Amino acid sequence: MLKVKTPRNHRVRRELEKRAPKLVENGKKTLILHGTKTSGVLNEVLKEIYHLKKGKAVKFSRKNENIKPFENGGETSLEFFSMKTDCSIFVYGSHSKKRPDNLVIGRTYDHHIYDLVEVGVENFKPMESFKYDKKLAPLIGSKPMIAFVGEGFENVEELKHFKEVLLDLLRGEVVENLNLVGLDRVYVCTAISSNRVFLSHCGLRLKKSGTKVPRMELVEVGPSMDLVVRRHRLPNDSLKKAAMKTARDQPKKKVKNVGDDAVEGKIGKIYIPDQKVGEMAVIDKSKGVKRERREAKLKKGDHGHVSKKQKEDST
């Protein structure tokens, strides 16, 4: 039997409640790791990804020898770090002669590897190399827009998968309503070829347009880089089916005597108590009732009552 550990204080209990499954999950956190060997360019890339995801990212600075995402047995340490930091997206950087400046971006489900995309970084330009008005610098934690340009994101299988991974990595918190003033940056992803994507980060400048909707101009603020897709691994069917399940909404409290109809919509039932007509007191003052009584007496031949006109005729 496995021993179930219970929290000893309120702080630990709150942390466990945050990590527990919910009907509406929290925003995804990103785990950034280094491989056994990394280059100077790759270190700058990982540092700027951490800066862009600040507040929703965890960065490890030590080298990790046991992490090999695409090999059997090389995912155990990665899944352990994912569970320890409660991160569902990871970025792993490594450098070798065969695969220089290599980035592996992946997602996890229930702290198990869900899918992987391996890309090579080329033509990297850091934020420091761009000159612009610092007033246009995007605020940390602001909601970005993401634009995908090119038919490759719809036609090429590798780029379609890479698009899904980039969306989860860059989009931040999922919101229903957004103020236009809060939009201050955009990620532009351009499919140059069947395996190459140009990624740039731009700030938004709002200008007058003569209408209620302002005109927007893009100012490149960095970083920018070419990402060459090398390998990718799709999720298996069983894990994908489990990850795609949607939780039912909390059942609404049943309202008594109210139902729904496909045509008429909401229908209500009204219960009226028995009126007991036989016990009701009926007032007999209507003219129609008197006339019916006179007609009934005439039919029976009751001549006991003589009208005034008949008395005058008899005299």
Which residues lie across from 107 on neighbouring strands? 89, 115
Helix (H, G, I), strand (E, B) or coil at 241: helix
Predicted pLDDT of residue 54: 86
Instruction: Check residue 278 and give its pLDDT.
Output: 75
Nearest to 50 by CA among 223, 167, 203, 247: 223
Give the chain's residues under pLDDT 70. 1-5, 21-25, 247-251, 282-291, 301-315
Residue 310: is it exposed, middle or buried by C-beta count within 10 angstroms (0-12/13-18/19+)?
Answer: exposed
Q: How deeply is 119 buried, as exposed, middle or buried, from its count of CB atoms within 10 A (0-12, 13-18, 19+)?
A: buried
Q: Tell the residue number behind the tokens 């995801």, with chain if given.
A: 53
Q: Whose CA is closest to 156, among 191, 200, 125, 189?
A: 191
Q: Identify which of 139, 123, 126 has the alpha carbon closest to the alpha carbon of residue 55.
A: 139
- Max Cα-Cα span within the chain: 145
Q: How far apart are CA 261 and CA 268, in angstroms?
A: 10
Q: What is the pLDDT of residue 306?
A: 52
pTM for the predicted model, two decimal places: 0.72
Q: Cβ of 81: how many Cβ atoms within 10 Å?
A: 18
